[in-house]
């Protein structure tokens, strides 16, 4: 089995039949992590515990009693999920050295099914950002920067003293997770999605990024950013794998009162062949200012694809789309101001040496622990929550949120099943260009297509579609009705099959996989 193989269709079978063992898989992934260290995708690599988990999994396979399809599968988890006994930093000085005393529910579920936790992945500090560039451990590099496809298209610099390619960002804030999955160091990774933080890096790194319906997957143990919008996100290399992960994570959790109580039944995705009963909506407002002509073309092509296959494709309108980013900005900073209040240095995390008084210790701790982005959002949030501003900004934003959510409701009630939109405005930018604008500006630009789904709590998925002129991945987004992940993923899987997104050609992976390097087609998707 190759590291590129799809989880469900290939690796699981290989493990069951003994063609590969969990320890072999684990060792290969760990070795690949080492040789792709320059990507800076991982903050913590839990080598010892991973190998131990792999050994235990191997025992189970030998006895013919694997726990399930995830038994022995190496996965990575974004560093804002609590993992017992393992440092959880949120890429912030505030939590450096913080060893979680418990596992987040989603982490526990994965471990209970025998998954092998390779490590914690890098992110923007406290998941605030759209580039994975603002964490204290440095930026994450998009693996595609080092791909044959990108290098071939790069304009060679006439006088380049540095042999480094002009590397591009991975997107954010779950950039580490996306890069980890994209570079084959794990088969799946957990991210979080508040405004697009799973779908944005998925689009830039050419992987599948699923944002489930709010309330489907437990947030217990996910260090919160915006309680009313956060969800754990799933990053995989193909849609089938995303369905597998969803199946093992979804469901009511008594420890998270915002999870719905309905029974959740894990599902296998059917192989859709007939799309004639499908109605695809194209929201015209998503043709946003700044959308690159390339992505516009891919979006158009995709619409044609569905039409030519017999589906009904209609233009729809979500009139409040252009206000969703403003609304998000207010609600996000307000909730952040509240959620970050817990970091005072007393019970956990960084504590300042200042000891004149409680308040001065708190203030110093927070000054030392948070970066500009976090502090900026806290201050903005507090401004919007001031008595004189509460109605004007916070309540107003909540009203606009209802308008945005009902826009979607109207469209879905009119008979549209799935919405098709771009995920990002363009392909990944070079790091040096990205950092020319500040975090808030970038987030406002980059989240514009993704965060309305968080406003309305709807499920959405990025499917890698094609390579841009620069040889970088471009993805398209499907948005579905609440709790209709099966329909959403079925359509996404059909689309994935049609576009046949190319496999990334990475030197390091070739070396590790030599001998079992199969042709592209069979690799990442079934």
Partner 1 sequence: MRVLSLGRWLRAGRVPPRGRVRLNSGHRHSGHRPQAPPQGPAQVPPRVPHQQKVSVEVLDHLEHLALVDFRDSEGVERLQKAIQFADQLHEVNTDGVEPMDSVLEDRCLYLREDDVTEGNCTKELLENARETVEEYFVAPPGNIPLLKLEEQNTYLQGSK
Q: Which of residues 474-493 bind partner 1 (CB under 8 A)?
A: 482
Q: Output the 3-class SS for 108-156.
A: HHHHHCCCEEEEEECCCHHHCCCCCCCCCCCCCECHHHHCHHHHHHCCC
Tell me if 323 contacts partner 1 by CB under 8 A.
yes
Interface with partner 1 in residues 259-278 (CB under 8 A): 259-261
In the complex, minimum distance from the CB of residue 316 to partner 1, in angstroms, rounded to a whole number: 10
Shortest separation between residue 163's beta carbon and partner 1, angstroms:
21
User: Cβ atoms within 10 A of the Cβ of 410, count?
Assistant: 13
Closer to partner 1 by CB, 270 or 319: give it.
Answer: 319
Q: Which of 92, 173, 443, 482 is catalytic?
A: 173
**Min dist. Cβ of residue 173 to partner 1 (A):** 18
Strand partners of residue 421: 477
Which residue, 140, 70, 137, 59, is CA-closest to 107? 70
Is 399 a catalytic site residue?
A: no
Q: Which residues pair with 58 in a beta bridge?
A: none
The reply on whether position 297 binds partner 1 by CB under 8 A is yes
- Kindly compute the dihedral angle of the four CA atoms of residues 69, 73, 76, 81, in this order, to the nearest 10 degrees: 50
Cβ neighbour number for residue 14 with a 10 Å cutoff? 15
Of residues 84-143, which lie at the interface with partner 1 (CB under 8 A)?
Answer: 98-99, 101
Residue with Cβ nearer partner 1 (33 or 479): 479
Measure the N-to-C terminal CA separation of the chain; round to a whole number of Å: 14
Catalytic residue among 174, 197, 443, 526: 197
Closer residue to partner 1 in complex, CB, 12/147: 147
Q: Is 245 helix (H, G, I), strand (E, B) or coil?
A: helix
Among 118, 282, 479, 504, binds partner 1 (CB under 8 A): 282
290 binds partner 1 (CB under 8 A): yes
17 binds partner 1, rule: CB under 8 A: no
The least CB distance from residue 518 to partner 1, in Å, is 28
Q: Which of 17, 270, 326, 342 binds partner 1 (CB under 8 A)?
A: 326
Q: State yes or no: residue 322 binds partner 1 (CB under 8 A).
A: yes
Nearer to partner 1, 65 or 359 (CB): 359
Of residues 228, 484, 520, 522, which one binds partner 1 by CB under 8 A?
228
Please say whether the beta carbons of 498 and 231 come within 8 A.
no
Beta bridge partners of 238: none
3-state secondary structure at position 70: coil
> CB 140 → partner 1: shortest distance, Å?
18
Integer Cα distance of 123 and 130 in angstroms: 9
Nearer CB in complex with partner 1: 8/401: 401
User: How far apart (Å, rounded) are the C-alpha atoms in residues 334 and 401?
Assistant: 14
Instruction: Using the minimum distance from each CB to partner 1, give the nearer residue, 304 or 507.
Output: 304
Interacting residues with partner 1 between 456 and 475 (CB under 8 A):
456-457, 468-470
Q: How far is the CB of 469 from partner 1 (least distance, A)?
A: 6
Active-site entry in 78, 109, 211, 493? 78
Helix (H, G, I), strand (E, B) or coil at 194: coil
Candidates 243, 285, 62, 202; CA nearest to 501 is: 202
Rounded distance, CA 338 to CA 332, Å?
Answer: 10
Q: Is 197 a catalytic residue?
A: yes
The reply to whether 294 sits near partner 1 by the rule CB under 8 A is yes
- The DSSP symbol for 7 reads I
Could you tell me how many residues of this chain bind partner 1 (CB under 8 A)?
109
Q: Please, which residues have CB within 8 angstroms of residue 314's CB and are 6 or more apart in sequence?
A: 279, 280, 281, 282, 416
Query: Quick one: which of 415, 510, 513, 497 has its CA closest to 239?
Result: 497
State the nearest-atom distance from the C-beta of 166 to partner 1, in Å. Answer: 10
User: Which two three-digit tokens encode residue 484?
Assistant: 């209709």
Site for partner 1 in 361-390 (CB under 8 A): 361-363, 366-367, 370, 372, 375-376, 378-380, 382-384, 386
* Near partner 1 by CB under 8 A: residue from 219, 442, 493, 512: 442
78 catalytic residue (yes or no)? yes
Q: Does 441 bind partner 1 (CB under 8 A)?
A: yes
CB closer to partner 1 out of 16 and 375: 375
Q: Does 440 bind partner 1 (CB under 8 A)?
A: yes
Q: What are phi and psi for residue 234, nearest 5 degrees?
A: -120, 130
Q: Which residue's CB is nearer to partner 1, number 148 or number 375?
A: 375
233 by DSSP, 3-state: which?
A: strand
Q: Which of 239, 278, 325, 467 is the binder for partner 1 (CB under 8 A)?
A: 325
> Should residue 303 be labelled a site residue for partner 1 when binding is judged by CB under 8 A?
yes
Q: How far is the CB of 221 from partner 1 (least distance, A)?
A: 14
Contacts with partner 1 in 388-407 (CB under 8 A)?
A: 392-393, 395-403, 405
Structure token digits, residue 439: 């975090």
- List the x/- string, 402-431, binding to partner 1 by CB under 8 A: xx-x-------------------xxx-xx-
Q: Is the peptide bond before 173 cis (omega within 30 degrees of 0)?
A: yes
107 Cβ contact list (under 8 Å, min separation 6):
77, 81, 82, 83, 117, 190, 221
Q: Which is nearer to partner 1, 66 or 475 (CB)?
A: 475
Q: Using the rule CB under 8 A, is 284 a contact of partner 1?
A: yes
Provide DSSP, 336-396. Answer: HHHHGGG-SSSSSS---S--S-HHHHHHHHHHHHS-HHHHHHHHHHHHHHSHHHIIIIIIH
Contact with partner 1 (CB under 8 A): which of 131, 215, 224, 233? 215
Cite the active site residues. Answer: 78, 173, 197
């Amino acid at each position: 089995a190759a590291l590129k193989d799809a989880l469900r269709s290939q690796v699981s079978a290989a493990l069951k039949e003994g063609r590969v063992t969990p320890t072999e898989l684990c060792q290969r992934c760990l070795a690949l992590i080492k040789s792709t260290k320059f990507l800076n995708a991982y903050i913590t690599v839990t080598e010892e515990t991973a190998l131990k988990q792999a050994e235990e999994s191997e025992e189970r396979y030998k006895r013919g009693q694997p726990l399930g399809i995830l038994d022995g599968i190496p996965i990575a988890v974004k560093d804002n999920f609590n993992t017992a006994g393992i440092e959880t930093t949120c890429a912030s000085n505030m939590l450096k050295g913080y060893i979680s005393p418990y596992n987040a529910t989603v982490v526990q579920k994965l471990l209970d099914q025998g998954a092998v936790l390779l490590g914690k992945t890098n992110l923007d500090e406290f998941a605030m950002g759209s580039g994975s560039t603002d964490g204290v451990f440095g930026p994450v590099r998009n693996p595609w920067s080092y791909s044959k496809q990108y290098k071939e298209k790069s304009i060679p610099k006439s006088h380049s003293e540095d042999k480094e390619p002009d590397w591009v960002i991975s997107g954010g804030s779950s950039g580490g997770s996306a890069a980890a999955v994209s570079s084959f160091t794990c088969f799946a990774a957990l991210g979080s999605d508040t405004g697009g933080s799973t779908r944005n890096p998925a689009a830039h790194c050419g992987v599948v990024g699923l944002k489930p319906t709010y309330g489907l997957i437990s947030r217990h143990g996910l260090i919160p950013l915006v309680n009313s919008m956060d969800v754990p996100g799933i990053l995989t290399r193909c849609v089938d794998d995303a369905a597998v992960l969803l199946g093992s994570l979804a469901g009511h959790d008594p420890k998270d009162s915002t999870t719905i109580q309905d029974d959740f039944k894990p599902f296998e995705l059917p192989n859709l062949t007939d799309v004639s009963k499908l109605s695809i909506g194209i929201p015209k407002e998503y043709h946003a200012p700044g959308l690159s002509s390339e992505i516009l073309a891919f979006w158009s092509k995709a619409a044609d694809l569905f039409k030519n296959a017999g589906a009904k494709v209609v233009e729809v309108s979500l009139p409040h789309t252009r206000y969703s980013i403003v609304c998000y900005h207010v609600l996000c900073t307000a909730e952040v101001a509240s959620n970050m209040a817990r970091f005072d240095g007393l019970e956990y995390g960084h504590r300042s040496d200042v000891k004149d008084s409680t308040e001065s210790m708190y203030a110093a701790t927070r000054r030392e622990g948070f970066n500009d982005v976090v502090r900026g959002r806290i201050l903005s949030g507090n401004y919007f929550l001031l008595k004189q501003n509460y109605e004007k900004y916070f309540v107003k934003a909540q009203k606009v949120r209802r308008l945005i959510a009902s826009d979607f409701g109207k469209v879905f009630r009119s008979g549209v099943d799935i919405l098709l939109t771009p995920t990002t405005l363009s392909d990944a930018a070079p790091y040096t260009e990205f950092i020319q604008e500040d975090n808030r500006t970038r987030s406002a630009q980059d989240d514009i297509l993704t965060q309305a789904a968080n406003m309305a709590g709807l499920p959405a998925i990025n499917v890698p579609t094609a390579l841009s002129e620069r040889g970088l991945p471009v993805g398209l987004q499907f948005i579905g009705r609440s709790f209709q992940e099966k329909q959403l993923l079925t359509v996404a899987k059909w689309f994935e099959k049609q576009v046949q997104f190319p496999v990334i050609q990475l030197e390091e992976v070739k070396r590790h996989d030599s001998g079992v390097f199969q042709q592209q087609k069979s690799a990442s998707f079934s």
